[in-house]
Structure 1
């Protein structure tokens, strides 16, 4: 697994969490860095404007003002940016202590005047300086530095220097593009590292899954191998659960055997006491003892089967069992000259359960089919039958060309000890045992009409 496969998996959740956290961290860091770079770019731009501002202030302070209505011309400010019309770079000075303020502007501002930051509500910094953005001519956005200058008797001035703010935006845009590219590469590298960590960090869980599959399929009895210290407690608990399951099964088998032995002797005593007498009491004792034996045998067998079914890692091959039973039944019923065909014998099928139980189920059904068949019995092994998404099943289908059974009689023969024809040998327990065993293994037992004309019996059992 390179990348997470399903939204519900732990790997997918870890990967999604890493993506979200990485995106948030990079976004926050990117916004902070972009804001810091903007602030730094604006400070550098403002220092450039302040150099021009100091040049103008120096020119005013050193010039001889012939009259109160005249303004000095800053000869020292000869940068071509302030000469070309509407270049985006402007200076402006206005004398404020005259009845009608006189304004002088740079050649790059042939008409109109620059707005004042005071009128735009920009607060003044210490030293009488204001900095900010304002609209300029030709729909330009300008970065302005504005300063008040009070020379006493020589006048009070408001000096403004403006530069094209597009230079700031271009610098910031270039920085943001470089930032996005750099963070994109970093984010991709980080996510690749996360995928690598998730893949190899969760690898022990994949090993546990494989080990559990081996236990379930009968290839192993416990989880073996070395695991990281974070996973080792889980492995120990699972092995403890397997051991406890085996212990419970063995204890149940022991109790079943003890109960069978404890009941066998009292029942034998009752039957012996009744003897061969024909009085009503003796007949009643023998009949009830027989009923008790049947009931005890029935329930003990159910307990035995339930104990075996609950055992983990019990697996057997299906095809050799079916083939062997078919050959055995041909010999048992050789007087009928039956042909028993096994279809699908090349299938590699394994039953998740006890071999004795599978032999008992299939043997009962093949034997029953041989008893009623005319000349032919077919046994089919079909694999890859799924019931749900978590368990695999296989089918054993047994067809005969005998008289078959009506739907009503099919339900009747499922009942324990019920025989429809006393002329055939048997106790009437075979089909009921098959039905109970199949149910204990979580499978199905069905009866239908066979294509050959007789009865079709079908077993659906869990496969590995």
Structure 2
């Protein structure tokens, strides 16, 4: 069950094993009961057999009183299914005496059916009797010396064995069915409530990942508590590693910026020297490269930490006020239309950095207007997560497809007269990618460029 839950798999596995165990147990019990019923039936047949042999061994008994000690009325009822037969085997004529129930029929011989003598000197087996009856028969050869040799046979209706076994199977099936239902209900109860703590942990981890919680809280059973403790310890260790990474990135930035500033200042003091000009040019390239890679390291460090949730509308409104102050000399009108329910699954400073870069670029190139729209896209297809769309439009001259491809590359600028390093869109693309989002450039409805940022939401 590839997409199935652990509880479902455990329930299916337990059900399968339960059915197998009950089936095997039922077959074994049915077989044992059939054997026991058959042995009891055989004891009854052997009792009649010994009585008949005793009658044969005392031929002086009057004929009308012979074989009266069997005590079974069914031997006198025609074709009742209970028969006895005594056949003399030491004469060619083979005189036979039989119970009245046989009427004018004869019992078959087990020897002719390939049944061998047992250690007790008897043969036991199933044969077809008169009227197609299934008989359980026992026979024994008797040697009386001078009085002759005989084959004594007693047969009983095997339907008794089959009916007893069938009745037991019905009761056994009903009992096992009821037992199976009770065990299945017990299994459902155990799986549902036994795995409830794991479900709580799963939901708590999902809350941590989405930013709704910071740790696993609550009490857990002793079997699950170590897992909760280790998970909390892992979260704490992850946060500590991220904080150390941020500190190292900051220290590295300061350590590299100072030597670069010295090189730039020294080269700037000898600007007329071609060598100094080349050094100054390459130092600027190094500064841009260092800024880019340090920013990527800082972004990656932040994106790998457990997510938080950021309200988008307040962050965008704060950016609007900031950008209006920065570009107040150009009198750019910045309009915002943000869904109040929009939330970004990430840190606020990352959202402000991405959108801030896009709004700053829009303000630099706009003629008079910048429009920011924030919407939450909820897909209709099941299983598809919703997305946050941030669209920044300006009414500038716009960009061709070739120009869009150029500005998307790191450090590329279309107009050197505009301030900046050319890293803004590259940083936005990298940061959005780390969050599983994307940045696309297209034509804006108000005439200029549209930068559309797609980010995860909750």
Question: Counterpart of 2:162?
Answer: 169
- Aligned equivalents of 2:276, 2:74: Cα separation in 1: 133
Q: Distance in 1 between matches of 2:317 and 2:302?
A: 24
Residue number among 95, 109, 118 corresponding to 1:116 in the alignment: 109
Pick aligned residue for 2:32 from 25, 31, 36: 36
Matched, 1:361 2:350: no
Number of residues paired by the alignment? Answer: 455
1:211 is aligned to 2:207: no
Aligned twin of 1:188: 181
Match of 1:338 in 2: 333
How far the C-alpha of 1:305 sits from its partner, in A, is: 1.4
Q: CA deviation at 1:179?
A: 0.8
Corresponding residue for residue 430 of structure 1: 424
Structure 1 residue 115: Cα displacement: 0.9
* Residue in 2 that maps onto 1:9: 5
Query: Cα–Cα, structure 1 residues 408 and 75, in superposed 2: closer, same or farther, change >3 Å?
Result: same
Within 1, Cα distance between the matches of 2:23 and 2:41? 27
In 1, the alpha carbon distance for the partners of 2:376 and 2:174 equals: 58
Farther off after superposition, 400-409 or 276-285? 276-285
TM-score, normalising length: structure 1: 0.87
Q: 1:398 aligns with which of 386, 392, 395?
A: 392
> Any conservation in 2 of the 1:399–1:452 contact (CA below 8 Å)?
yes
Q: Distance in 1 between matches of 2:3 and 2:108?
A: 59
Cα RMSD (Å): 3.1
Partner of 1:294: 288
Distance change >3 Å, CA 258–CA 339, structure 1 → 2: closer
CA contact (8 A) 1:403 1:455 kept: yes
Of stretches 210-219 and 53-62 in structure 1, the one that deviates more from structure 2 is 53-62
- Indicate if the aligned counterparts of 1:6 and 1:12 stay in contact, CA closer than 8 A: no
- For the residues of structure 1 that align with 2:222 and 2:148, how far apart are their CA atoms? 84
Q: Indicate how the Cα distance of structure 1 residues 176 and 153 shifts in structure 2: closer, same or farther if over 3 A, else same.
A: same
Aligned pairs for 1:28-427 (under 5 A) are 28-64=24-60, 73-77=66-70, 79-280=72-273, 281-326=275-320, 328-329=322-323, 336=331, 338=333, 340-343=335-338, 345-349=339-343, 351-370=344-363, 371-372=365-366, 375=369, 377-384=371-378, 393-421=387-415, 427=421
Give the secondary structure class of the aligned counterpart of 1:119: helix
Q: Which segments of 5 or more consecutive residues in structure 1 lack a partner in the other structure?
A: none
Q: Which moved more, 1:310-319 or 1:128-137?
A: 310-319
Deviation at 1:436, TM superposition (A): 2.3
Secondary structure at the counterpart of residue 108 of structure 1:
helix
CA distance in 2, matches of 1:15, 1:278: 79
Structure 2 unaligned regions, length at least 5: none
**Cα drift, residue 58 of structure 1:** 3.9
Deviations 1:106-151 (A, max 9, x none): 2222233111122222232344332211111222110112123333
Corresponding position: 1:23 with 2:19: yes
How far 1:310 sits from its partner (Å)? Answer: 1.7
C-alpha spacing 1:348/1:442, structure 2 compared with 1 (3 Å): closer
Structure 1 residues 394 and 387, CA gap change in structure 2 (3 angstroms): farther
CA contact (8 A) 1:396 1:458 kept: yes
- 1:447 is matched with which residue? 441
> 1:311: how far off?
1.7
Distance 1:107 1:272 in 2: 134
